[in-house]
Structure 1
Amino acid sequence: MSQLSIFSEIGRLRAVAVHRPGPEVDRMTPSLMHDLLFDDILFGREARGEHDDFSRVLNKVADRVFDVQDMLADSLAQPRAREHFLDRFCILHKLNGQDKERLSDLDPKELAETAVAGWYEDIDNGTNYQFRFPPVPNLLFMRDPASVIGNGVSINHMATAARRPEPFILDTVLRFHPEYHIENEKQIWFDAIPSYIGGIPEHNNTIEGGDTLVLSEDILAIGISIRTTQSAVTMLAEKLRRHTQFKTVFAVLMPHDRAVMHLDTVFTQIDPEHCLVFPPFFREDNPIQSLPVIRMDLTSSSLHITLEDNFLNALKKEGHHLKPVFCGGTNRLDQEREQWTDGANAFCMAPGLILGYSRNIKTAEELEKVGYRILTTEQALSDSVDLLDGKRTMVMIAGNELSRARGGARCMTFPLQRDPL
């Protein structure tokens, strides 16, 4: 039986995948950064140090914390997985037979590293260089290329060319990893790979994991955003209707704005009662800016669609009552600044136990008002602190370098297994 199991955003975390930023970040140049969706080049050493602390906190709570590059290497040790991956990866990057043969000669660890770090070649003793295929620095944000939904998966169709190699990595991992893999094709709710290798990228059917939130065993919320299209959400909802027990998908209509590129940049659930939100979209006194939703009923013989004018009110009608906690506090300037540095993008390790960046101090103050204790990374890692003692807790991780890459704690995680609520 598959160990993949995600039926909430807040259940006790048992297994999660992350990716420590490696050579792919160090190989990003100013001329490449905009094509690779970065606003600046990162200082790799600092980013790795911050990510290491982040992973240490995860390890204190979860049973298993994997690096996806290691998961890929473990999968590629199987000949069938290696063939599956290379066939598809070479089509994606338009590599010839000789290139494929050179990649085939690499051992599993080397092949996994090359797939992520890019195929880099020095020219003229380092006075120039070329990439046979580019690095994948956005793999740091593990949330987006795939999603575990219930006991199945969505292999996501990325909206930008720079991120299209990532689903190929997750596709191989989720099919062939020795521990966390699907049992059969019926567990794939959405699959982007056929359109990629068929040479017809379906730009109208893109979906990313930052927009996909599994709120309960009955309810999903999926943002229709700058990265995720309504047609893709409808395709996923139809598959879930036919093959799962989920009852409702809320397609949340987001502004098409890079500052709020995914639903989880403005909304994350943090405990059974509360959600962390970007206030302008969730103020009861400002209905004009509230987020409307398309409600998709999965319990009928076909998708039944209705419109709701307010996301949180729509959740209440389904019995999912959440009180908003304001990212950035009550001041609009602070709200915009801390939303930009992912103040609303918390990652929940257990009910009421969350991770977020230490720089978002106004957000931390709002969490204190609803009973959260605020811990530094050092405090959280102390032997004297039990993170699973039932107290509402926010662990503040350093993220001055990581946040410059435009992603927060939820963005950097790919949950594989959570306890049921």
Structure 2
Amino acid sequence: MHSNLDINVSSEVGTLRRLIIHSPDEGIGKVIPTKAQEWLFEDIIHLETMRKKEYDLYLKILLYFLDYEKIHSQIHQIDLPESERHFYKPDKKDYFNSDKVIEPQALLASILENPNLRLRMIASVCAHEGTSYLLQDELMELESSVLARTMISGILPDKRMIFPPIPNLIFTRDIGITVNDHILLNKPKKKARTRESILMKYIFFNHPMFQEYTDKIIEITDPEDFFLLDEEEQNKKIVTLEGGDVMTVAPNHLLVGVSERTSIHAASKVVHEMHRRGIVDKVTVVKIPAKRAYMHIDTTFTQVKRNLWVLFGSFSKEGLKKEKGDFISSLGGQKSENELEILQYVKGQDYNKPIKFDYLEDLLNDISLNDLHSTTPTRFIYSGDNQFPFGRREQWTDSCNVLALKEGVVIGYDRNDKTAEGFKKQGIDIIKAEDLLKAFKNEEKKPADIKDTLILLPSAELSRARGGSHCMSMPIKRDPIY
């Protein structure tokens, strides 16, 4: 299992066939208030509620759509009372192992069976975390499944906490993006995410699943002389890239955000690398304000269908015009705090003369009509249905961050009520994840029957982690949409 699988993603909405996700681990339950922001969490999460009452539903929805025969035949075995449920973790005996919905902890445990890789990985992680030399010997003695769990959670079987947790690994989108048949790896801005990056690099370069793709794995690095620069110059030229700022929207077109987490120099490197390798013809850079509230471009817009998008109203044409109001620009020429800059770089054309888009809707409309060949007008759903103050409130809880299971069928959070109203106005049905799973289980519906639907996931705890279903996924296989 997990060897030589076909890897290709050429859109955001083609039928999803395979993805990497990481269900919440015990490290999330060890985040404390004084370290939460350093570890990039806004709040203290109740792990059992997040995992068993929320994420489990997400996981089952994914399994029903991507691995129907296997999940449906075993649903009664895994659909146990919460106190008995352990199908979500690879180190548990009743782990549900799918080659469609893939857990990186299982991939990690597999490669840790190799003594050489085990030694190298332990040395890499321990050097990064600054642990004692003797601890490396202790880790070498652990079973592979236990060691994989410890590498991720930071917790030994005897409950000693030897590393900080990496709670953001649930946002697997950020560790890498599949661009056609290539994988673009991240380079995280924050130290709290570096261990994620180390572990995933070992997986991508060493697991049999990716052995046919090692020459198609792209790493973006700092300039060669970066370590010689003073701190001020380093801050200007640093290369940081996270997957939430990258979208493969069409076979010939990649979007890259410049944000709080992805730097302008990283975007430049991506443009050059994509064109040098001939992976896509167009790379559009979307520069958004470097604010925690936005973080990545996929917190401000995602795609529902080839001609339907959900986006943050303050970044819309109407929103930007409204914010400028009656301010006379000649008084000082200041820009709106939410102003965007959208620049498109086409292979073979002068990089000093990019194509410019004035508004986000203009870019998304161009993608729908010209890249995805939509024959109907492009439509937009706005966060909070563009009602004050719900647009901003619901953007904060990931109203614009939906994952397409197939064209028109997406997963979002149930707490974004006004945004759901906007979906209804565009002809999208609304159903709770629990109700849909019940219908699947009772064979009242099958995934193939579901069209134009927003599936609402319980999100009291998940939303407090500051990431939605789009963030919690790394698609590695989608069907072409034409």
Matched, 1:162 2:211: no
Task: Tell me the distance in 2 between the aligned counterparts of 1:143 and 1:81.
Answer: 25
| 2:14 maps to 1:11 | yes
Give the letter for the 1:154 counterpart. Answer: L
> Which of 303, 308, 326 pairs up with 1:269?
303
Partner of 1:234: 268
Aligned equivalents of 1:302 and 1:33: distance in 2?
A: 41
Contact 1:13–1:415 (8 Å) recurs in 2: yes
Q: Which one has the bigger strand percentage?
A: 1
Tell me, in whole angstroms, the C-alpha distance in 2 between the residues paired with 1:302 and 1:250. Answer: 12
SS in 1 for 2:384: coil
The amino acid across from 2:215 in the alignment is: K
Please give the root-mean-square deviation of Cα atoms over the aligned residues, in Å: 2.6
Q: How does 1:136-147 map to 2 (within 5 A)?
A: 136-147=166-177
Normalising by the residue count of structure 2, what TM-score does the alignment of the two structures yield? 0.79
Q: Distance in 2 between matches of 1:166 and 1:372?
A: 36
Counterparts of 1:20 and 1:301, CA distance in 2? 44
Distance 1:377 1:269 in 2: 20
Partner residue, 2:61: 57
Q: Could you say which residue in structure 1 is the equivalent of 2:473?
A: 413
* Secondary structure in structure 1 of the residue aligned to 2:208: coil
1:22 to 1:377, Cα distance in 2 relative to 1, 3 A: same
Further displaced range: 184-193 or 318-327: 184-193
The CA distance in 1 between the partners of 2:119 and 2:213, in whole Å, is 18
SS in 2 for 1:100: helix
Partner SS, residue 49 of structure 2: helix
The residue type equivalent to 1:252 in the other structure is V
Residues 83-104 of structure 1 show CA distances to partners (whole Å, capped at 9, x for unaligned) of: 4423422332233432222222
CA distance in 1, matches of 2:22, 2:11: 22
Correspondence list, 1:238-317, <5 A = 238-284=272-318, 286-287=320-321, 289=338, 291-300=340-349, 305-317=354-366
Distance 1:314 1:343, change over 3 A: closer
Equivalent residue, structure 1, for 2:147: 111
Partner of 1:152: 182
Separation in 2, partners of 1:377, 1:233: 36
Conservation of the 8 A alpha-carbon contact between 2:253 and 2:281: yes
Change (3 A) 1:91 1:66: same
Q: Please state whether the residue corresponding to 1:258 is helix, strand or coil.
A: coil
Q: 1:349 to 1:233 in 2, by over 3 A?
A: same
C-alpha distance after superposition, 1:178-216 (max 9, x if no partner): 32x153543122245999xx9999761001011111101
Tell me how far 1:313 sits from its aligned partner: 1.6
Cα displacement string for residues 239-262 of structure 1 (whole angstroms, at most 9, x for unaligned residues):
111113301111101011111111
2:108 to 62, 72, 95: 72
Matched, 1:391 2:427: no
Q: 2:195 and 2:186 mapped to 1: Cα distance?
A: 11
Check whether the contact 2:178–2:184 (CA below 8 A) recurs between aligned residues: yes
- Of residues 46, 50, 63, the one that matches 2:49 is 46
Contact 2:282/2:347, CA 8 A, preserved across alignment = yes
Query: Secondary structure in 2 aligned to 1:52?
Result: helix
Aligned residue for 1:352?
Answer: 408
The 8 Å contact of residues 282 and 291 in structure 1, kept in 2 or not, is answered as no
Mean alpha-carbon deviation: is it higher for 219-228 or for 301-310? 301-310
Aligned equivalent of 2:243: 209
User: Once the two structures are aligned, what percentage of the paired residues are identical?
Assistant: 29
Q: Is the 8 A contact 1:84 1:172 kept in 2?
A: no
Counterpart-to-counterpart distance in 2, 1:27 and 1:285? 40
Q: Distance in 1 between matches of 2:149 and 2:262?
A: 29
- The equivalent position to 1:326 in structure 2, one of 382, 386, 390, is 382
Rounded to whole Å, the distance in 1 between the matches of 2:203 and 2:223 is 16
Aligned-partner Cα distance in 2 for 1:199–1:109 = 41
Letter paired with 1:335: G
Deviations 1:330-375 (A, max 9, x none): 2120111111110110011100010001111111111111111111
Letter in 2 for 1:255: P
Unaligned segments of structure 2, at least 5 residues: 68-99, 325-337
Q: Distance in 1 between matches of 2:435 and 2:31?
A: 34
Letter in 2 for 1:188: I
The range that moved more, 384-393 or 311-320, is: 311-320
Which secondary structure state, in structure 2, belongs to the residue aligned with residue 227 of structure 1?
coil
Contact (CA 8 Å) 1:222, 1:233: kept in 2 or not? yes
2:76 — aligned with what?
none
The match for 2:391 among 335, 340, 349 is 335
Q: 1:39 offset after TM fit, Å?
A: 2.1
Residue 4 (structure 1) shift: 1.8
* Distance in 1 between residues matched to 2:473 and 2:310, nearest whole Å: 17
Kindly indicate whether the alpha-carbon contact (under 8 Å) linking 2:220 and 2:269 is maintained by their aligned counterparts in 1: no
d(CA) in 1 for partners of 2:115, 2:50:
34
Corresponding residue for 1:189? 218
Preserved contact between residue 220 and residue 266 of structure 2 (Cα < 8 Å): no
* Secondary structure of the corresponding residue to residue 393 of structure 2: helix
2:72 is matched with which residue? none
Structure with the higher fraction of residues in helix conformation: 2
Alpha carbons of structure 1 residues 273 and 109: separation in structure 2 relative to 1, 3 Å = same
Q: Which moved more, 1:147-156 or 1:393-402?
A: 147-156
Q: Trace 1:351-370 onto structure 2 (pairs within 5 A).
A: 351-370=407-426
What TM-score do you get using the length of structure 1 for normalisation?
0.90
Alpha-carbon contact 2:390-2:418 (below 8 Å) kept = yes
Q: Could you tell me how far 1:298 is from its partner in structure 2?
A: 2.4
CA contact (8 A) 1:283 1:290 kept: no
Residue type at the aligned position of 1:40: D
Residues 388 and 292 of structure 1: CA distance in aligned 2, closer, same or farther (over 3 Å): farther
